[in-house]
Amino acid sequence: TGRQSAASRKSSSKRQANKDKYSVLLPTYNERENLPLIVWLLVKYFGESGYDYEIIVIDDGSPDGTLQVAQQLQGIYGAHRVLLRPREKKLGLGTAYIHGIKHATGNFIIIMDADLSHHPKFIPEFIQKQKEGGFDVVSGTRYSGNGGVYGWDLRRKLISRGANFLTQVLLRPGASDLTGSFRLYKKEVLEQLVDRCVSKGYVFQMEMIVRARQLGYSIGEVPISFVDRVYGESKLGGNEIVSFLKGLLTLFATT
Amino acid sequence: MTKLLEWLLGVSVVVTAWGLLTFDLLDLKVPQVYREVVWPMPVYLLVVFGCYSIATVGYRVATFNDCEEAAQELQAQIKEAKLDLKKKGLKF
């Protein structure tokens, strides 16, 4: 109409033309305190960006009442924005993704940690990067550009960089941050990858990128800041390092 | 081909070339000078790679970005979020 300003005509036609919808998968276990905060941030940044989205909370029977908080959030933001797809007990991350994908109505899936180490402010950057390059996967990286970490001491940084160097030498994966779990995937790409991946934990995230390369998918990167607030409580121990090395060598020998 | 097989292939090619030259297995009558250079190559290359690895990892640890601002911004936003959610009726 004649009354619309040029700016609002442009932005409303952008929203109409853009049929993309982004489903954020949030697997949770005992995140009663963090869940409201991460949802608030997601609503804030998606709201400001104008992209269509939904948040799928996959709670694995948390004893601390995470699901009850999730229900309250659903009441506040609406069942079309906050979806609850809980499970009975703590099952793996891979199955959480499969479970989440089944209920996702978006054509893009964003996976991230629910403990506030990943900040939703980067999501519009992921989306922008994906549009620019038509990427199948966009991976947040802590190791390149102005990506970084808060809350790690020298020991943790050394282990992290050392492990990443070893991974680069052995696997030459074409991505700078293999163990990161803040990523945007095209939905059908994520389905294909989760189907093929067999590892657990850190190595699962590595395997996803390695298999993506094998299948010829394109991977873009966006530097992110990772704010670790739990490092003080759960130091990276010998067990985790050993299982990481075992997983890395398995990928080395099988892919 | 898996990465392991790629490595084994690469290592075999290098070791074969080194063996042929050092021990003159094909009777090429390679000049002594070349043989003296090639003979310590494997150890030399390992040492170079070791130094490169240490230097690279050291550099990357030293230049690992510390996201002070991100942490502060997060703290501020947590406060803002808690206030707003309380207003919207969330019972923490």
Contact B61 A76 (CB under 8 A): no
Q: Which helix or strand (DSSP H or E) is residue A227 part of? A: strand A225-227
Asked if B45 and B89 sit in the same domain, the reply is yes
Asked if B90 and B45 sit in the same domain, the reply is yes
Asked if B89 and B53 sit in the same domain, the reply is yes
pLDDT band at A94 (very low <50, low <70, confident <90, very high): confident
Asked if B79 and B66 sit in the same domain, the reply is yes
Residue in B closest to A229 by C-alpha: B71
Asked if B63 and B78 sit in the same domain, the reply is yes
Asked if B64 and B30 sit in the same domain, the reply is no
Q: Which 110-139 residues of chain A touch chain B by CB within 8 A? A: 116, 119
pLDDT band at A13 (very low <50, low <70, confident <90, very high): very low
Average pLDDT over residues B45-53: 97
Angle at A235 between CA A68 and CA A204, to 5 degrees: 70
Asked if B51 and B11 sit in the same domain, the reply is no
d(CA A118, CA A173): 23
Asked if B30 and B44 sit in the same domain, the reply is no
Average pLDDT over residues B21-45: 85
Asked if B33 and B50 sit in the same domain, the reply is no
Radius of gyration from C-alpha coordinates of chain B? 29
Residues in B touching A41 (Cβ below 8 Å) = 77, 81
Q: Are strands A137-141 and A219-223 parallel, antiparallel or unpaired?
A: parallel
Of B56, B64, B67, the CB nearest to A227: B67
Instruction: Quickly tell me which residue has 């995140």 as its tokens.
Output: A31
Instruction: Confirm or reject contact between B29 and chain A (CB < 8 A).
Output: no
Residue B56 contacts by C-beta under 8 Å, 6 or more apart in sequence?
A165
Contact B67 A149 (CB under 8 A): yes
For residue A184, what are its two tokens?
């945007």
Q: Which of A132, A250, A135 is nearest to A189 (CA)?
A: A135
pLDDT of residue A9: 54
pLDDT reading at A238 higher than 50: yes
Contact B57 A162 (CB under 8 A): yes
For A72-91, give one letter per residue: b (16+ CB within 10 A) or e: bbbebbeeebbbbebeeeee
Mean confidence (pLDDT) of chain A: 90
pLDDT reading at A1 higher than 60: no
Question: Which of A150, A153, A166 to mutate to test binding with chain B, by most B CBs within 10 Å of its CB?
Answer: A150
Q: Which residues pair with A26 in a beta bridge?
A: A57
pLDDT of residue A10: 52
Asked if B22 and B1 sit in the same domain, the reply is yes
Asked if B4 and B29 sit in the same domain, the reply is yes
Of A148, A149, A161, the CB nearest to B57: A161
pLDDT tens across B63-79, in order? Answer: 999 999 999 999 999 99
Residue A238 contacts by C-beta under 8 Å, 6 or more apart in sequence?
none
Question: What's the distance, CA A65 to chain centroid?
Answer: 23
Asked if B65 and B89 sit in the same domain, the reply is yes
Contact A40 B85 (CB under 8 A): yes
SS3 A178: coil
pLDDT band at A4 (very low <50, low <70, confident <90, very high): low
Average pLDDT over residues A175-193: 95
Alpha helices per DSSP H over chain A? 6-17, 34-49, 66-77, 93-103, 123-133, 154-171, 187-196, 201-214, 238-254
pLDDT reading at A11 higher than 80: no
Domain span at residue B26?
1-39
pTM, to two decimals? 0.88
pLDDT reading at A241 higher than 60: yes
For A93-105, give one letter per residue: b (16+ CB within 10 A) or e: bbebbebbbeebe
Q: What is the ipTM of this complex?
A: 0.89
Contact B61 A225 (CB under 8 A): no
Contact A40 B84 (CB under 8 A): yes
Contact B2 A252 (CB under 8 A): yes
Domain count, chain B: 2
Average pLDDT over residues A18-31: 93
